[in-house]
Structure 1
């Protein structure tokens, strides 16, 4: 499926122009990469957000630049720290037949079998190598069988022949730990049970 986004050219980056573009509901952006020189453009913010929401962060987008259609992926973006609006976007032009390396989000699916455990996710993204159209939107792992002490590693992530995961198979993704409060309470009980030594063993006159 081709996801086309309309663009309009813009001049070199400057603060006043960027503000004007954002007021008009667009996002200042730059396109670079395969077969293209750095090109400054503006894209409609709503169209961009909708395309990514419906097709994923690693979706291949098509931009029309100078009458030519260019395949790109969203390489980086910046958001306003207060209102969350897109401030700037970097699009990477790609060769659809050539593998690239990009980060893919890890999603934990389900609820742990042991409800008393505390789930801690250590790794949220992993580097993947694939052609642009084969980059997965996310990598999922079912956690419904986890009990306290169980550990999920990169080796447990969903794999496919269309992409390769570029991370150590033993890297920890998540762990189901015992509740901290329960451990602290156990320690307090143990300390209270220890015999108290009075006068350090000195003889009393």
Structure 2
């Protein structure tokens, strides 16, 4: 697990105005707490923090340097602007090497399911407890060849060495359904139309007798334009 070093600065301005000035300076307002210590108000370099999350994932281990003192921390909460997606505020949790902590880890799906099998994703993350300095960026799930009914529960996931699953082991992560047949789709469509009060037009095929009569019929104007001069 990579360790990202961020040089923090103490923050003495609070409120919306102070936060805006901090962000305009290219920094993110943040708080650091944990282990019974008083909450520390600080700011982080915006570009370096974004790079840490991009390269190390949401559970990236951070070395926060404040006034020459180094502290290990994990990101517990991030507020983002809903439009620009820029980081607006960060909550950091103090951790120590060898200390176990509980985090949510994203699930990454690889492979393709079996023919006529449709994966139904139920969980995007699972909670695990692990050494704060050995947290995985993600947990990989291989669905290659899975067919209907071959579901994957949280207890089936392969966790990193030393990690403990906190999510219920029986919680469904990915279910697999059989692809519907053309007949099933047609029946479902007909049922939906019936519920909506839509009546289908009946399409009848011409009978053999009617076809025969049509083929032998003489057009009404067949006697015209025969080429015979009066």
TM range (shorter): 0.7 to 0.9
Q: Which residue of 2 aligns with 1:104?
A: 105
Q: Which residue of 2 aligns with 1:24?
A: 25
Aligned residues: 190
> Does the Cα contact within 8 Å between 2:149 and 2:177 map onto a contact in 1?
yes
- Give me the TM-score of the superposition, normalised by structure 1: 0.84
**Structure 1, residues 66-89: CA drift from partner, whole Å, max 9, x if none?**
321000011110111111111110
Q: 2: CA distance between counterparts of 1:29 and 1:190? A: 55
Equivalent residue runs for 1:17-166 within 5 Å: 17-34=18-35, 36-114=37-115, 116-166=116-166
Deviating runs (4+, > 6 A) in structure 1? none
Q: Which residue of 2 aligns with 1:199?
A: none
Q: CA deviation at 1:56?
A: 2.1
Q: Which residue of 2 aligns with 1:178?
A: 178
Q: 2: CA distance between counterparts of 1:64 and 1:188? A: 62
Q: 2: CA distance between counterparts of 1:2 and 1:187? A: 54
Q: 2: CA distance between counterparts of 1:190 and 1:80? A: 44
Query: Which segments of 5 or more consecutive residues in structure 1 lack a partner in the other structure?
Result: 192-205
- Give me the TM-score of the superposition, normalised by structure 2: 0.75
Q: Secondary structure at the match of 1:96?
A: coil
Q: 2: CA distance between counterparts of 1:189 and 1:61? A: 58
